[in-house]
Amino acid sequence: MTHTVTVVMAQIDPLVGDIQGNTQKVIETVKQAKAEQQADIVVFPEMTLTGYPPEDLLLRPGLYQQVNAALDKVCEALSEVDAVAVVGYPMQDELGERFNMAAWIENGQIQASYIKQHLPNYGVFDERRYFESGKQPCVVSYKGVQFGLLICEDVWKFSPAAQAVEAGADVLLTMNASPFSSEKHQDRIAVLKRRVDEVKRPIIYVNQVGGQDELVFDGGSFAVCADGEVMVQAPEFQTALTRVQVMRQAEHVVILPGEQAVLLDEEAMLYEAIKMGIRDYVSKNGFNGVVLGLSGGIDSALTLALAVDALGADQVEAVMMPFHYTAAISIEDAAAEAEALGVQYEQLPIADIYQSVEQTLAARFAGTEPDVTEENLQARIRGVLLMAISNKTGKLVLATSNKSEVAVGYSTLYGDMVGGFSPLKDLLKTQVYRLARFRNRLLPVIPERVITRPPSAELRPDQKDQDSLPDYEILDAIIQAYVEEDKMPSEIEAMGMDREVILKVVNMINRNEYKRRQAAPGVRLTQRAFGRDRRYPITNGYTEMTVQ
């Protein structure tokens, strides 16, 4: 006799620290999954009740009182619902040790619990700062099927899955809060295929979705059968309840074919990740929308399009702040972008403000020649105006710098770096151009000449970015190799790069950590973003001296 168990992958977007709100979301989601999809088991992401990552909230004693109350509330609310909830949460024992947990809640009670065994402590993860490791598997019998519980990093290792299978598991359920990077989903699939090949059991992988500070969680939950085929694929970058049918056939348990959401290509993934990062940062932090400086250049044009696509035109304000060196076509293109996207737009010329500041500093600067000081004044005046608008309206200022500029310090501290959030912070300049063209294929909103003309900060006559920097194709290749891949300068030279250019760029990268440390948070797109991933000392004497 055969029968099926319906597992629903609950791909939700929790708010870190909002234990009451997350608890209510769990209760409502289980009831919805039962009513709409006849769910037997509803599996949630890692640390469901607190959201992930809660960071040093985990050091607050009161957090655990709230979590315990939340678990009681979930148990009570679901006591009359004929469905299991598999929920993640942190626990602190009487000795003060903390654990990353999963609870199997059935018939109004926690029937079983599991402690995460492998605690990641690399990149953006600091779990050994907070938690102790578990040692034992957890397998629960439900309607003739044995379900083994795993939490995130556990499935990337062999031993927890093997332990669960040895304890009798027919199917492995893994709860995850796995942040997005451009190759991460394929990495997950590859790891799970390797794991099922080792343990010969299906795995159901449930991932969180949503933005949390710099991190974006892309969802993309999926189920892999014992031969490695992806039988069910949930959508990326959206909340979803996705059904997985588990069937016992004699001695084996199989996953039946189900929904197959189409996975996004690289450009669409990057675009959706940045959109989600903007949307959740603005909404979860209670801002009234966003404001940004629109220069007529490619970076601010792409940022404007992303902001409108994330929030809606009514939530976005753009300000052009021209000066003597602002080209007429920049003014024209900025206005065209604002009109195409339907946002509130105005011009605030800065010449009079600049003249006033220049006069104030005239005596102090007497006998000196104009230099980068005067250029930076322009950028800083613009920053002051944007922050004033932000204070008055409650709108968040979006910075528009990209990863190439941030890497080498080609930006003005307290000037164009002003902002509460930096959407392009982990996007190389060459990728900015690619995403601009991607957006225009959906609907042209960025004038073609913004994409094709040489980029310029327009802080002095006839200025071009390449006056100070290598061509962006070369610069970005060096940044990717040195920052994201940790290659030595000698290895970069072997890629065909010029020795002197490499040394110039890598020393600019290392010299400008003091700027990056003061920059706004931005969406993490790679596995080596500035900030949480790459933690470089500001004060240090290290220099890449030679290429050998």
* pLDDT (tens place) for every residue of the chain, 548 residues total: 467 999 999 999 999 999 999 999 999 999 999 999 999 999 999 999 999 999 999 999 999 999 999 999 999 999 989 999 999 999 999 999 999 999 999 999 999 999 999 999 888 888 899 999 999 999 999 998 999 999 999 999 999 999 999 999 999 999 999 999 888 888 999 999 999 899 999 999 999 999 999 999 999 999 999 888 999 999 999 999 999 999 988 788 889 999 999 999 999 999 999 999 999 999 999 999 999 999 989 999 999 999 999 999 999 999 999 988 778 888 999 999 999 999 999 999 999 998 999 999 999 999 998 888 888 899 999 999 999 999 999 999 999 999 999 999 989 999 989 999 999 999 999 999 999 999 999 999 999 989 988 766 655 566 565 656 788 899 999 999 999 988 998 889 899 888 889 999 998 999 899 999 999 999 999 888 888 888 888 888 877 765 44
Q: Which of 371, 376, 377, 335 is nearest to 355 (CA)?
A: 377
- Report the helix count and the strand count for the chain, using DSSP H and E: 16, 19
Question: Within 13 A of 125's CA, how many CA atoms are on the CB side?
Answer: 14
Q: How far apart are CA 206 and CA 176, in angstroms?
A: 6
Cα dihedral: 531, 534, 540, 541 (round 10): -140
249: β partners = 252
Per-residue pLDDT tens over the stretch 56-81:
999 999 999 999 999 999 999 999 89
Contact residues for 471 (Cβ-Cβ < 8 A; gap 6+): none
pLDDT of residue 1: 47
Handedness of CA 184, 189, 195, 197 (dihedral sign): negative
CATH second-level architecture of 3-263? 4-Layer Sandwich (3.60)
pLDDT of residue 457: 60
Tokens 């195409």 correspond to 340
- Beta strands in 144-300, from DSSP E residues, in sequence order: 145-151, 171-176, 203-207, 209-212, 215-218, 222-224, 230-233, 240-249, 252-255, 290-293
pLDDT of residue 546: 54
- Boundaries of every domain in the chain: 3-263, 267-465
Q: Which of 95, 91, 86, 89 is nearest to 43 (CA)?
A: 86
pLDDT of residue 547: 43
43, 30 contact by CB (below 8 A): no
101: β partners = 89, 115
pLDDT of residue 460: 56
Superfamily of chain region 267-465: HUPs (3.40.50.620)
Give the pair of three-digit tokens for residue 341.
């996207």
- Do the strands 203-207 and 171-176 form a parallel or antiparallel pair, or are they unpaired? parallel
**Rounded to the nearest 5 degrees, what angle is found at the Cα of 292, between the Cα atoms of 311 and 519?**
105
Calculate helix-pair angle for 429-442, 298-311, nearest 10 degrees: 50
Contact residues for 13 (Cβ-Cβ < 8 A; gap 6+): 208, 209, 210, 217, 239, 280
Q: How far apart are CA 464 and CA 447, in angstroms?
A: 19
Active site residues: 46, 116, 152
Q: How far apart are CA 227 and CA 229, in angstroms?
A: 6
Residue 201 CA, distance from chain mean position:
31
pLDDT of residue 150: 97
Give the pair of three-digit tokens for residue 105.
């809640």
Tell me the CA end-to-end span of the chain in Å, nearest whole number. 69
pLDDT of residue 540: 83
Cα dihedral: 265, 268, 271, 276 (round 10): -90
Q: pTM value?
A: 0.93
